[in-house]
Amino acid sequence: MNLITSTIGQGLLWGILALGLYLSFRILNFPDMTVEGTFPFGAAVCASSIVHGLNPLLATLLALLAGMLTGLVTGLLYTKGKIPILLAGILTMTGIYSINLRILGKANLGLLNQATLMKNQLLLNLPTNFPAIVVGLIFAIIVVFFLALFLNTELGQAFIATGDNEKMAQSLGINTDNMKILGLMLSNGLIGLAGGLLAQNGGYTDVNMGIGTMVIGLAAIIIGEVVYGDLSLTARLVAVVVGSILYRLVLLLVLQLGFSTNDFKLLSAIILALCLMLPLLQKKFRVKQLLQKGIQKP
Amino acid sequence: MTLELKNITTVVNQGTPEEKTILHDLNLKLHDGDFVTLLGTNGAGKSTLLNVINGSLKPSTGQILLDETDITNLSEVKRAKAIAQVFQDPKMGTAPRMTVAENLLLATKRGQHRGLKLRGLERHMEEFTEKTAQLPNGLSERLNTFVGNLSGGQRQTLSFLMATIRQPKLLLLDEHTAALDPNTSKNLLELTNDVVTKKQITCIMITHQLRDALKYGNRTIVLNSGKIVLDAQGKEKRQLTEEKILEFFTN
């Protein structure tokens, strides 16, 4: 039971990263590698701020701002510097590694005896792992609410149009460069926020904690889409968070089969690869037709 | 609205062995309500001319004046408030993962500031229903359909409606019916003619169909090797024949 509640809490917190990634990967329609630098950057900024005595909530918001800054850097390299997005993201990610080492002063920083959002007075009486669920739920609800609101504004629609058809967006007078920068800032802001929250939940931050975060975020997005199919934009945001929880549960299940935690990243990659191939496999093995056949011939 | 192109020259791949001059010292003045059909062989410079006007290509030399204001250095995005376009490829002018209504809503704000105000789609639905009901291919019943699920003809009709839903100062049509079947193409051309003439929109329409070039518009221009070799209007346009136009293609 403890493992399941821990997984749900983790899933909610990782869901915020997945929501950030959703903005670049699904709405702007490009892969932003900055995520693997932004995530530990948010964690490092948050952990370091807490260690220096800053209020955990403010430290968490600083992680959001730090993430937005990395998004701005990638956005400027991509739009103004005309560097391809993949390379722009990798450059920012690589540069952040050194910055993280400077912020932390060493490769990792523990938060075990520090105040965190999960150790808030109001959450102290809750059973183990429930504070993470409550914090994750609150942040996930706030993020989904504001993202849904933003995407339904005139600016949000211009942002969606930029990812959907850039040439059309430009012909309608939408400054697509600005939209991409804005999207990358929002996306990385959320990823930084997730880094800050997960550092507090895990009780430590490590410069290498960004490795594999892209796969985790994408898996959440894809699982959400596979499970829920065609949805409205707002519902898709919720599906991403649910996808994140499901992904953590799948991982838990696989680890329970006896795999070592060292195999975690390999398993993550395999699960994502399978999820990405699912539509193709469904088509190839005619899963839908087979299921329908089963219904027709009881 | 007046559009004036003064001594426009465009050179591509400048400074490389592939350097090529597309438009040669081109001069053109369009008056309010001019409906120009633009002809020319492939590579004559028709699309380049439209790209220079819409701002996606900066001329190497020359000046572009819109209502006597110099817009030569204005970006495509900034020109969009005055200039609307429909491209040849039906996929180019619409957003496939947004609905028909959402696409139209984007077009109503063409060139305007887009802020954090809620989009207010519901307020526009009546207008969209009314506008699409006048169109030939059943778009009014598909306002909530994702554009990616529409046929090429429906998408191009939508592109045209998006370009004209708020009256532009200048409308650029780059072979906008070329990718459609003959019937759909004919319907869209008739619609184009109706809207452009009724609303008195200044318009340049590229076409490869000599018959259409003669049938529509008050002015026909032929480009050959980046130069205007024919600019016929009034009586001269009425007396034009397909054979006569072809002579300007080859000479």
Residue B114 to residue A164, Cβ atoms within 8 A: no
CA distance A158 to chain B (A): 7
Predicted local confidence at residue A298, as pLDDT:
45
B63 within domain boundaries: no
B40 within domain boundaries: yes
A229 part of contact set with chain B, CB < 8 Å? no
Question: In degrees, to the nearest 5, what angle opens at C-alpha B204 toward C-alphas B203 and B207?
Answer: 135
CB contacts < 8 A (A, B): 82
Nearest beta carbon to residue B119 from set A153, A175, A176: A153
- Residue B132 and residue B107: Cα distance in Å, rounded? 14
B3 within domain boundaries: no
B68 within domain boundaries: no
Nearest beta carbon to residue A165 from set B54, B94, B117: B94
Residue A154 to residue B116, Cβ atoms within 8 A: yes
pLDDT digits (tens, 9 = 90+) for A47-60: 999 999 999 999 99
Element (H, E) at B152: helix B152-164
Quick one: closest CA in A to B165, which residue?
A: A172
Test mutation, A172, A175, A233, chain B, max B CBs within 10 A: A172
**Total tally of structural domains belonging to chain B:** 1
Residue A154 to residue B92, Cβ atoms within 8 A: no
Predicted local confidence at residue A296, as pLDDT:
56
Predicted local confidence at residue A164, as pLDDT:
97
Residue carrying the six token digits 């004559």: B44
Reported for A112-118, long-range contacts at CB under 8 A and 24+ positions apart, including other chains, are A112/A203, A112/A204, A114/A50, A114/A51, A115/A50, A115/A55, A115/A56, A116/A50, A116/A56, A116/A200, A116/A201, A116/A203, A117/A56, A117/A57, A117/A60, A117/A197, A117/A200, A118/A200, A118/A201
B132 within domain boundaries: yes
Test mutation, A150, A171, A234, chain B, max B CBs within 10 A: A171
Read off the CATH number of the domain in which B179 is found. Answer: 3.40.50.300
A233 part of contact set with chain B, CB < 8 Å? no
Residue B94 to residue A155, Cβ atoms within 8 A: no
B115 part of contact set with chain A, CB < 8 Å? yes
Residue A161 to residue B106, Cβ atoms within 8 A: yes
B76 part of contact set with chain A, CB < 8 Å? yes
Where residue B98 falls (left for φ over 0; alpha for ψ -120 to 50; beta otherwise) is: beta
B8 within domain boundaries: no
Residues in chain A where the model's pLDDT stays below 50: 297-298
Quick one: closest CA in B to A154, which residue?
A: B119
Nearest beta carbon to residue A160 from set B54, B98, B110: B98
Residue carrying the six token digits 């430290």: A59
A147 part of contact set with chain B, CB < 8 Å? no
CB atoms within 10 A of CB A48: 21
Taking only the tens of pLDDT, chain B with its 251 residues reads 899 999 999 999 988 999 999 999 999 999 999 999 999 999 899 999 999 999 999 999 999 999 999 999 999 999 999 999 999 999 999 999 999 999 999 999 999 999 999 999 999 999 999 999 988 888 999 999 999 999 999 999 999 999 999 999 999 999 999 999 999 999 999 999 999 999 999 999 999 999 999 999 999 999 999 999 999 999 999 999 999 999 998 76
Predicted local confidence at residue A133, as pLDDT:
96
Predicted local confidence at residue A7, as pLDDT:
94
Burial class (CB in 10 A: 0-12, 13-18, 19+), A123: middle
Predicted local confidence at residue A263, as pLDDT:
87
Q: Which residues pair with B220 in a beta bridge?
A: B37, B232
B92 part of contact set with chain A, CB < 8 Å? yes
Q: Which of residues 137-196 of B touch A (CB under 8 A)?
A: 162
Predicted local confidence at residue B240, as pLDDT:
94
A160 part of contact set with chain B, CB < 8 Å? yes
Residue carrying the six token digits 């409906």: B35
DSSP secondary structure of A135-148? HHHHHHHHHHHHHH
For residue A146, which residues of chain B lie inside 8 Å, CB to CB? none
Q: What value of ipTM does the predicted structure carry?
A: 0.94
B123 part of contact set with chain A, CB < 8 Å? no
Predicted local confidence at residue A227, as pLDDT:
84
Residue B114 to residue A158, Cβ atoms within 8 A: yes
pLDDT digits (tens, 9 = 90+) for B62-78: 999 999 999 999 999 99
- Residue A230 and residue A214: Cα distance in Å, rounded? 23
B47 part of contact set with chain A, CB < 8 Å? no
A157 part of contact set with chain B, CB < 8 Å? yes
Predicted local confidence at residue B152, as pLDDT:
94
B146 within domain boundaries: yes
Of A99, A284, A255, nearest to A192 by C-alpha is A99
Residue B98 to residue A164, Cβ atoms within 8 A: yes
Model-level pTM?
A: 0.93
CA distance B244 to chain A (A): 35
Predicted local confidence at residue A281, as pLDDT:
82
Nearest beta carbon to residue A155 from set B91, B95, B114: B114
B84 part of contact set with chain A, CB < 8 Å? yes
Containing structural domain, residue B198: 32-57+74-111+121-247
